[in-house]
Amino acid sequence: MQKPLKRHEALVPLSRDHHFGLLLVWKIRQGLAFEVSLSRICNYLIYYVEHHLLPHFQLEELGVFPFLDEKDELRQEAEEQHEVILGIFETIKSGEEEHSANHLYQFAGSLEAHIRFEERILFEHMQDVLSPDEMQRLGEKISESHRFGDEIWEDEFWKKDN
């Protein structure tokens, strides 16, 4: 078992978002395992991405990643992963191939890998290379921009009895 990561308080709101992102991954996989109609899963995915994931990505791209140099390889990797995830999302949202289960699996796998990358590698890197003052400013930037609204969704397809 991997030991828990020590997270700087500045990054805690993003880590909390990541927890809910992993929950999204689990919900998608549960829906697929229960053979729920793909449109039900996709409707939730579209809601979640538009209300939670896109604002999270925007905060990272505009407020967090700029604390690292543009040429920082880990920053570039995170930005590229955002593009891949959003590309898969756009395919799902467009209805191409009628929301194939393959795209949902691909989205879930890409999002999970991305969250693990940010938590285990990128955030650790930021904590190592940013000064205490930069981490303080980063925390202020995140605090002024971070929002995570309540989730309003009634179709809990990920539960066995729904």
pLDDT digits (tens, 9 = 90+) for 7-19: 899 999 999 999 9
SS percent in the chain: helix, strand, coil, step 5: 75, 0, 25
CA distance 56 to 82: 10
CA distance 85 to 70: 20
pLDDT tens digit sequence for 53-102: 999 999 999 999 999 999 999 999 999 999 999 999 999 999 866 668 99
Q: Taking every pair of C-alpha atoms in the chain, what is the biggest distance, in angstroms?
A: 50
Cβ neighbours, 10 Å, residue 85: 20
25 within 8 A of 111, measured Cβ to Cβ: yes
pLDDT at 2: 63
- Which is nearest to 11 in space by CA: 149, 138, 148, 150? 138
49 within 8 A of 17, measured Cβ to Cβ: no
CA distance 2 to 10: 22
pLDDT tens digit sequence for 108-150: 999 999 999 999 999 999 999 999 999 999 999 999 988 877 7
Amino acid at 62: L
pLDDT at 97: 61
DSSP state of 49: I
104 within 8 A of 26, measured Cβ to Cβ: no
Backbone angles phi, psi at 35, to 5 degrees: 55, 40
CA distance 108 to 129: 30
Cβ neighbours, 10 Å, residue 109: 14
